[in-house]
Amino acid sequence: MIPRVELSPQVVKEIVHRAGRPDFERWSEQLHSCGYCSRPVRLRGRVAYHSADGRRVGYSTDGEPDRVLMIRCGNRRAAVCPSCSYEYAGDMWQLLYAGAAGGRKGVPESIRSHPLVFATLTAPGFGPVHTTRADRTGGHARCRPAHGTPRPCPHGRPTWCTAIHGEDDPRLGQPLCPDCYDYPAHIAFNWHAPELWRRFTITLRRTLAQQAGLTAKQFSQRCRVSFVKVAEFQRRGVVHFHGLIRLDGPGDFDLPQIDLDSAALAQAIRQAASHVRLTVEMPDGSGLVLRFGAQLDTQTVNGGTTGQLTPEHAARYIAKYATKSAEDFGLGERRVTPETLPLLNVTDHVDRLVRTAWHLGEHPAYEGLQRWVHMLGFRGHFASKSRHYSTTLGAIRSERRTYRQRQAAEHSHELLDNKTTLVVSHWELSGVGYLTRGDTTLAHSAAVRARERRQAARDAA
């Protein structure tokens, strides 16, 4: 569905102007080749090559509409650019799938027989929040039913909620009592989450070594833990991690030289995640012990026997999470201060989280935190992997770039093969985004149509 928007006379004028230009077709082509990006980068410049037979061939943006070439913004976040985020998720999927299923991107097919587990590590509770849950039959259950004689909290608020919240209920993720909610611990968790994950991977290696009856050194000579993980914000504004964790041998993609299957790996992950602790300093001088939450999920993917999840599904789950970020909380991707916060129209909960983060950032142990309040204190990478998991995003992108260049070259009958030598290449940034609101509107509706075509093709397949 193309959203119905009110077009001002100015925008209509801009649309008519664009569509009436003789180079409109070329402009549409550019739109298509930058994937209907929401805010493309506009470049001005030229390149020249010497072809194999000594001819000089070249390209200049002087002949392009508005004398610019539009290229993708490349943003990972769906809230910023649906198109580039879709492409990013696709690249992520390739990377994840290669490491799970093998037989592609330089990962051998034998990787399928390595123990592999899809794990979700959550944060602990910082106070009850409104939530959705399933009852025993999988139906919708009440949020937080009262047990025994219901007693209000010290602030006189109910400690129960008998509502069955819909998926779009704005109360979801909001605390039942904000005064009972432990905001500093919540922010401390987000801030230290990357370190907690690192500790978890160390604890996991130790746990596995113990299970196999080996010393740490013996273990590392026979086995390596490879993983890829993404951080996802839960509704309450705390990060949790989804990871694909695999056992390898000491060499690249070798079989591990210990006798552990996927079920044993899952068991070790649960044990390590429930044991790992990180004591951090709080402004009042007290030590806060951080740990993962009791809600811990592991599913075996493969490893000789049939797993609970297929590599395709596991890869799809993680790739999907990788395009979300804290923008869903209305904070945008820029720095936030307590002064600019009221302009953002965020929930009371997010307001308190941001203010707590700012306050905590004044303490020396939390230096730098104020730069990350728009991420609710999370400063880690949204997606990261150990060195040996599979290929890299960079390799996948450059493969796609080469493919597109070849396509473009074939299209324009230029001789951009291996025998050409680059003689001139000069580019400068002309701007970001579309030139007019009319162009933006045209690009947006073309993007919606392209998505619909893609969906229809998928449905037909």
Which amino acid appears at position 124 of this protein? Answer: P
Report the nearest approach of Zn ion to the CB of residue 74 (Å).
Answer: 6
Strands 421-432 vs 41-50: parallel, antiparallel or unpaired: antiparallel
Minimum CB separation of residue 87 from Zn ion in Å reads: 8
Q: Which stretch binds Zn ion (CB under 5 A): 122-130, 212-220, 297-305, 359-367?
A: 122-130
Nearest to 378 by CA among 320, 321, 326, 318: 326
Q: Which tokens sit at 189?
A: 């968790």
Residue 172 binds to Zn ion (criterion: CB under 5 A): no
Question: x-or-dash pattern for Zn ion, window 131-150, by CB under 5 A?
Answer: ------------x-------
Q: Is 231 in the site for Zn ion (CB under 5 A)?
A: no
Binding segment for Zn ion (CB under 5 A), chosen from 100-108, 161-169, 205-213, 230-238, is: 161-169
CB 442 within 8 A of CB 18: yes
User: What's the distance, CA 286 to chain centroid?
Assistant: 34
Three-state helix/strand/coil letters over 384-400: EECCCCCCCHHHHHHHH
Please name which of 189, 223, 228, 193 lies closest in space to residue 206, comparing C-alpha atoms.
223
Alpha-carbon span 95 to 395, nearest angstrom: 10
Report if residue 180 touches Zn ion, rule: CB under 5 A. yes
Choose the binding region for Zn ion from 69-77, 201-209, 349-357, 380-388 (rule: CB under 5 A). 69-77
Determine if 2 is a binding residue for Zn ion (CB under 5 A). Answer: no
Choose among 191, 141, 109, 149: nearest CA to 378: 191
**Smallest separation, CB 226 to Zn ion (Å):** 31
**In angstroms, what is the minimal distance from the CB of 104 to Zn ion?**
26
DSSP 237: S
The whole-angstrom separation of Cα 129 and Cα 271 is 27
Alpha carbons 461 and 417: distance in angstroms, whole number: 35
Nearer to Zn ion, 37 or 318 (CB): 37
User: At which residue do the structure tokens 């928007």 appear?
Assistant: 5
Burial-class residue 436 by CB neighbours within 10 Å (0-12, 13-18, 19+). middle
Is 447 a binder of Zn ion (CB under 5 A)?
no
446 touches Zn ion (CB under 5 A): no
Q: Does 161 bind Zn ion (CB under 5 A)?
A: yes
* Alpha-carbon span 198 to 5, nearest angstrom: 48
- The site that binds Zn ion (CB under 5 A) totals a number of residues, namely 14
Pick one of 42, 77, 130, 236: the residue that binds Zn ion (CB under 5 A).
Answer: 130
What is the DSSP-derived secondary structure letter of residue 297? E
| Site for Zn ion, residues 32 to 51, rule: CB under 5 A | 37
CB of 440 vs Zn ion, minimal distance in Å: 13
Of 7, 177, 263, 393, the residue at the interface with Zn ion (CB under 5 A) is 177
In whole angstroms, give the CA distance from residue 406 to residue 412. 10
Q: Does 410 bind Zn ion (CB under 5 A)?
A: no
Question: Quick one: which H or E segment has residue 192?
Answer: helix 183-212
Does 153 sit near Zn ion (CB under 5 A)? yes
Q: How far apart are CA 419 and CA 37, in angstroms?
A: 32
Print the binding letters for residues 70-109 with Zn ion: x by CB under 5 A, - otherwise.
--xx-------x--x-------------------------
Selected binder of Zn ion within 25, 62, 109, 179 (CB under 5 A): 179
The answer to whether 163 contacts Zn ion (rule: CB under 5 A) is yes
Alpha helices in 296-431 (DSSP H): 311-321, 348-360, 393-412
CB 277 within 8 A of CB 289: yes
Least separation in angstroms between residue 79's CB and Zn ion is 12
For Zn ion, which residue of 4, 136, 155, 334 counts as binding (CB under 5 A)? 155
Of 107 and 383, the one with the shorter C-beta distance to Zn ion is 383
Rounded to a whole number of angstroms, the minimum distance from the CB of residue 107 to Zn ion is 29
Smallest separation (angstroms) from Zn ion to the CB of 153 = 3
Residues that bind Zn ion in the complex, under the rule CB under 5 A: 37, 72-73, 81, 84, 130, 143, 153, 155, 161, 163, 177, 179-180
